[in-house]
Amino acid sequence: MKVLSALIILLLTLLGEGQIRIKLVDGFDYPVGKPNAAGYYKARGLRLTRPVHFGEDWNGKGGGDTDLHDPIYACGDGVVTFAADVRVGWGRVVLIRHAYRDPGTGKVKYVDSQYAHLRTILVKKGDVVKRGQKIGTMGNNRGMYAAHLHFEIRHNINIGMQRENFSKSDANWADPSAFIKKYRRLKKEWRPVVVPTGTYRVYRGHTGL
């Protein structure tokens, strides 16, 4: 029996069972007003020096809470690596991991996109999502802020919910709009790639993929 289960485990490992594979993205869109952020403006941008802001804040042009419940979209194909209500300053947060081929080097790279202060989450950890798929709605973190989307793109896929452990550098964080513009359309490829998992530290009892 022991030998049999060992053999099964070996076979599953060889077949790559249990590994998560996703398609390389064919481009990135904005997470609001799809695909071009129509009807929204960037209230705050990325700033890696004090006062630090690790991403972008997207607001509806109507101001205040007029954008509450507005749809939030996955900026690219990928897999949900985190989806939880962690409360504190974050509220409901979704993280999605994307794989893309850098046209400059020809190498496959991974990035995580993060969507915070959501009113509702419509996906769960492990879900494979498509670019433009509705993943949640815009929120205000229980009235802590005027409704807006806090949106980050990280080159470093170990950050997860533990930003304070990582240096404030552009090796770790991308400027989201600049990144989207740069990789707006990429060549379509069908060969799936294995996604690294287990890269986040547990945050307030919540684990990543």
The nearest distance, CB 47 to Zn ion, in angstroms, is: 10
Q: How far apart are CA 77 and CA 20, in angstroms?
A: 14
Q: Which DSSP string do the residues of 62-111 spell out, in sequence order?
A: T-TTTTTT-EEE-SSSEEEEEEEE--TTT-EEEEEEEEEE-TTT--EEEE
Question: Which residues ranging from 70 to 129 are in contact with Zn ion (CB under 5 A)?
Answer: none
Residue matched to tokens 């985190």: 82
Q: Is 154 in the site for Zn ion (CB under 5 A)?
A: no
Rounded Cα–Cα distance for residues 133 and 31 (Å)? 9
Task: Tell me whether residue 45 or residue 62 sits nearer to Zn ion (CB atom).
Answer: 45
- Of 22 and 180, which has the nearer Cβ to Zn ion? 180
Cα separation, 102 vs 100, in Å, equals: 6
CA distance 44 to 33: 17
Q: How many CB atoms lie within 10 A of CB 207?
A: 14
Distance of closest approach, residue 40 Cβ to Zn ion, in angstroms? 14
Tokens in use for 26? 């064919």
Q: Which of residues 35-74 bind Zn ion (CB under 5 A)?
A: 57
Q: Which residue is nearest to Zn ion (CB)?
A: 150
CB of 154 to Zn ion, least distance (A): 14
Candidates 19-27, 64-72, 133-141, 144-152; binding stretch for Zn ion (CB under 5 A): 144-152
Q: Verify binding: residue 150, Zn ion, rule CB under 5 A.
A: yes
The CB-of-94 to Zn ion minimum distance in angstroms stands at 15
Considering only 119-127, 133-141, 147-155, 156-164, which stretch makes contact with Zn ion by CB under 5 A? 147-155
Site residues for Zn ion per CB under 5 A:
57, 150
